[in-house]
Amino acid sequence: MSTAYGLLLDCDGTIADTERDGHLVAFNRAFADLGYDISWSVEEYRALLDVPGGKERLRTYFSQHPELGLGSGEALERHVLALHRRKSEVYLELVDAGAMPGRPGIRRLVHAALDGGWRVAVASTSSARSVEAVARSVVGDEAVERMSGVFAGDVVEHKKPHPDIYELALTDVGLDPSRTIVVEDSRPGATAAQRAGLTHLVTVNHFTKDEHFPDAATVVDSLGEPGAPSTVIAGADARNAEGFHDLDSLRRLLAG
């Protein structure tokens, strides 16, 4: 097991604010493109965010709306797979078009961690292609190549809030849980980190700003940037003197 510090990042809502401006737009365009009379509102999608994973959200929604007449079993699964395939294509188009800029502090902190000898990885329940595309768009190709891994999609049996994805990342990267911190944005992700025994920092977004994170070391509106400090919502104030999070901030959270 490595003695290096570890930084594990969720993707959607954490690296970039992808849910409202990316995934929701892509789902609705996929519905239209494939001829489904469905268009999710922001509030409908907010409720579906409690279900991690795009295919899982489709299955949940269809199970709640049998009046759509999409059948069950293999018939329903064909609808799910076709829609998710088209949704993923649209989503990647949005990423390539620069529709989802990175959240404050992410690029800065990832580069600082890599330069400082930390082991950095992404751990997400979204599809591997979309996660890597977002990571490359926000932190850059060179930084992604230097990461210790991008763990995404269906690489584990159970998705968040189960701890599987974080346990896999810990094992594969060889990280010491006591020296590893997670950056998350949602309740399922924070629960997964807590169940994996990991200190976690939560950066809330539009969809998660009203959620409660009782086990988080700190909850902030963003990591902040020089000249643009973050706001502490709950938990410890580990920000530096300028009001944003840096590597020393993360070490303080791990020690606290």
Residues acting as catalytic residues: 10, 12
DSSP 72-110: SHHHHHHHHHHHHHHHHHHHHHHHHTT-SPBPTTHHHHH
Which run of H or of E encompasses 218?
A: strand 218-220
What are the CB-based long-range contacts (under 8 Å, 24+) for 25-30? 25/90, 25/94, 25/99, 26/87, 26/88, 26/90, 26/91, 26/94, 27/54, 27/57, 27/83, 27/87, 29/87, 29/90, 30/83, 30/84, 30/86, 30/87, 30/90
List all residues 6 or more positions away from 167 whose beta carbon is below 8 Å from its beta carbon.
196
Nearest residue to 58 (alpha-carbon basis) of 84, 36, 33: 84
Lookup: tokens for 111? 């580069």
Q: Are 102 and 16 in contact (CB under 8 A)?
A: yes
